[in-house]
Structure 1
C-alpha cells in the first residue's frame, strides 16, 4: 500500500488530475461559445433553411449538418490554440530558461555522434565525386 500511496502523491498524478478537471471545464466553455455564438453565425449562411447549412438526403434521419461540422472544427482550433499559447509556449520557455540558467544547454563546440558520422559520410562522398570527375 505504501508504494501505491507514493504513486498517488507524486506530482505527475496530481498534475494530470488537475489538467483533466480544467480540461473538462474548458471544453464546456468552448462548447457554449461555439453553440451559442459561432453556430448561429454559420447558420446565417444557410439562407431560409432553419437548419442552417444542413441538408436532408431522403428523410429527417439522413440530415447532413455541415454547420455542425464547421462548428466542431472551429471549437477544436480554438481549444488547440488556447492550449498551445496558454500552456505549451510558457512551459517551453520556462524550461529553456531553466536549462540555460543551470548551464544544461547544448554546447555549441560539441557535435553529437550522429551529426559527426553524417559529416564524415558527406565528406567521403564529396571526395569520391571529386576523384571520379573528369579532368580537363
Structure 2
C-alpha cells in the first residue's frame, strides 16, 4: 500500500451505531452497515460523494461485511451524490469477491450513466 493510500485508509472513521456500524470519510461520505443476516446478506447504505479520498470508507465497510461472513451485499445508493472511477472500482472488486451485489433504491442518474459508459451495468443486480 502506498503512503497516500495508507493515509486515506487511516482517515476513515468507524463507529458502532445501534446494531450497525458507520464508516465516515473526510468530505462527508458515509456508509452505514448492518450486521450480516443469517442468509449471508449485509445491507449497506451509502451517502455523500465518493472519490479517491472518500471511497476507502466504502472499501472498509465491504471488507468488514465479508469478514463477518457476508456473501451478498445490498447497497443502497439512492443518496450517493457523486461516484467516480474509484467508487466504481470498489464495486467491481467487491463483485469479484462476493456472490452477489444488489444496488438498492433509485440509482442516481450520474451512477447509471457511469455504469452505462463503462459497460458495468450488468455486473450488478438492481432493486428499488
Same fold (TM over 0.5): no
**Which TM-score band (shorter chain)?**
under 0.3
The structure richer in strand per residue is 2
Higher RCO, 1 vs 2 (CA within 8 Å, ≥6 residues apart): 2
Computing the radius of gyration from Cα coordinates, the structure with the larger value is: 1
TM-score relative to the length of structure 2: 0.21
The structure richer in helix per residue is 1
